[in-house]
Amino acid sequence: MEKLFRSGDLELAGHIARPRIAPGTSVPGLVISHGFPHLNQGGRLSARSFPELAERIANEMGWMVLVFNFRGCGESEGDFSLLGWRDDLLAAAAFLRSVEGVYGVWAAGFGSGGSMSINAAALDPEIRGVAAIGSPADFDDWANHPRRLLQHARETAIIRSASFPPSFEPWAREIRQVSAVAAVKSLAPRPLLILHGSDDDMVPVFDARAVSDAHGAADLRIIEGGGHQLRHDPRAVAVLLGWLDRQRSASAAQRAG
């Protein structure tokens, strides 16, 4: 990962996987977002395994793929807040659109990153579609225990500054402002893939069904026996690649028409 773009006054780190394309050729772009770290000091390892997935999508599917670290994670600057993460994803999408050879941007997120992708797309109509994998419908559990979330964010090192947040109450209020099940209505009718493991022990399958119902035309796929870490499940990856292939074909047909 290297510093690639800015979100507000913060520099965020990422990796771009580039397909082999002829000069003058344009391809679709995909922003991949990681989830909330759960291990002690896990923020430093966020998105560590995602460049490999990005390279696969670039090489096999012909997409330009950006993987990045949200603020507070990996090599990115800043400290965690939910609205800050949403802003980071909006900045990532804008950055990828500025990359030469990219004609449109989609978003795919794992865990909390999928929820952030939906929330960002609700604000940015230029995000053409979203894939949310193992993602929560809302963050009400966190909102009910904001001090516990703050402590966990410190333990995972996605809040590094002892003086952050400067005021606890505004930081805590943000948690209820970010809701995939509420934002997805503004994403519709753009395409939405919802992937969830039937045995996910961190995010209930009910969340996937709730977001799907709120969208109204989502492609809902439940991976039987799948857990939360679906990026390591070949079945889930195959579903994601198939969805991306269909998105590219449909976009190419629209451009040709």
Tens-digit pLDDT profile for residues 127-179: 999 999 999 999 999 999 999 999 999 999 999 999 999 999 999 999 999 99
Residue 91: which domain range? 2-252
- Residue 203, classed as helix, strand or coil, is coil
Distance separating alpha carbons of residues 169 and 12, to the nearest angstrom: 26
8 A C-beta contact, residue 128 and residue 247: yes
Mean pLDDT of 186-211: 97
**Residue 184: left (phi > 0), alpha (psi -120 to 50), or beta?**
alpha
What was the pLDDT predicted at 225? 97
Q: Is residue 104 part of a domain?
A: yes
Q: Is residue 135 part of a domain?
A: yes
What was the pLDDT predicted at 41? 54
Q: Is residue 36 part of a domain?
A: yes
Distance separating alpha carbons of residues 257 and 254, to the nearest angstrom: 5
Q: Is residue 73 part of a domain?
A: yes
Mean pLDDT of 73-86: 96
- CATH number for the domain that contains residue 211: 3.40.50.1820
Q: Is residue 257 part of a domain?
A: no
Q: How many CB atoms lie within 10 A of CB 256?
A: 6
Distance separating alpha carbons of residues 4 and 68, to the nearest angstrom: 9
Distance separating alpha carbons of residues 30 and 13, to the nearest angstrom: 16
Distance separating alpha carbons of residues 167 and 171, to the nearest angstrom: 7
Task: Using the structure block, give the residue that is written with the tokens 């394309």.
Answer: 21
Q: Is residue 244 part of a domain?
A: yes
Evaluate the omega torsion of the peptide bond into residue 165 and state whether it is cis, within 30 degrees of 0. yes
Distance separating alpha carbons of residues 143 and 149, to the nearest angstrom: 8
Q: Is residue 115 part of a domain?
A: yes
Percent over 70 (pLDDT), the chain: 96
Q: Is residue 241 part of a domain?
A: yes
Number of domains the chain is built from? 1
